[in-house]
Amino acid sequence: MAKKILILNGSPKKDGNTSVMVDWFCQGAKSKGADIEVVRTAVLKYKATGCISCRLCQTSEKYECCIKDEATPVLAKMADVDVIVFATPLYFFGASAQLKLIFDRFFSLYKWDNDAGTMQTPLKGKTLVVLASAFEDIGLDALEKPFALTAEYTGMKFESILVANAGTSGEIAKKRPDAREKIISLGMKIAI
């Protein structure tokens, strides 16, 4: 059965390094029959800038954010896919704000019982992938850490490809041609 993959492209640019990486990943995953949807988080219309810590999601039986905007269906899809890919450029040692807005609202996909010390989520057992690039060779480890910790805490499988020295927007193909095959191969691996 074809795996369902949701890719969240956190770059504000349509033709930058992040989009090139997403295209390579899709090429590999599609070759193995994956069902892929790419969402450009930079163009979503939000009513709030990330999680507002109202905790209303914790009082609902549903795994959903109480803020109703264009992130709502994206969050709902996360519970229904096999793989969630976060793709982003490195911005000041972290993911782009455009990606972080939706990543923080991931909170609504968890239910905690603090008294019992338990947590439930429909994300357990899924795969979380990070694709990230940077102009230089510093900072990608800091960007990766929140995603890796989230995957570990949630019981998700974790994969990442971090491409340092990728150049400015759109230069990754010529500056780091070695990254292409790695990313295509990861897409193929994730899809089966």
Q: Does 189 score more than 90 pLDDT? A: yes
pLDDT at 1: 75
Taking the C-alpha atoms of residue 32 and residue 35, their distance in angstroms, rounded to an integer, is 9
- Measure the CA dihedral 138/144/146/148, to 10°: -150
CATH, domain range 4-191? 3.40.50.360
- In tens, the pLDDT along 44-72 reads 999 988 889 999 999 999 999 999 999 99
Taking the C-alpha atoms of residue 158 and residue 142, their distance in angstroms, rounded to an integer, is 16
Residue 27 identity (one-letter amino acid): Q
- In tens, the pLDDT along 70-101 reads 999 999 999 999 999 999 999 999 999 999 99
Q: Does 160 score more than 90 pLDDT? A: yes
- In tens, the pLDDT along 21-30 reads 999 999 999 9
Q: Where are the domains of the chain?
A: 4-191
Q: What share of the chain is helix, strand, coil (3-state, %, to 5)?
A: 40, 20, 40
Of all residues in the chain, the percent with pLDDT exceeding 90 is 92
Pairing of strands 118-120, 111-113: antiparallel
- In tens, the pLDDT along 3-46 reads 999 999 999 999 999 999 999 999 999 999 999 999 999 999 99
Q: What is the Cα 47 distance to its own chain's centre?
A: 20
pLDDT at 134: 96
Closest-CA residue to 90 (of 54, 41, 42, 144): 144
User: In 10 A of CB 33, how many CB atoms?
Assistant: 11
Those residues whose C-beta lies under 8 Å from the C-beta of residue 59, and which sit 6 or more positions away, are: none
Q: Does 114 score more than 90 pLDDT? A: no
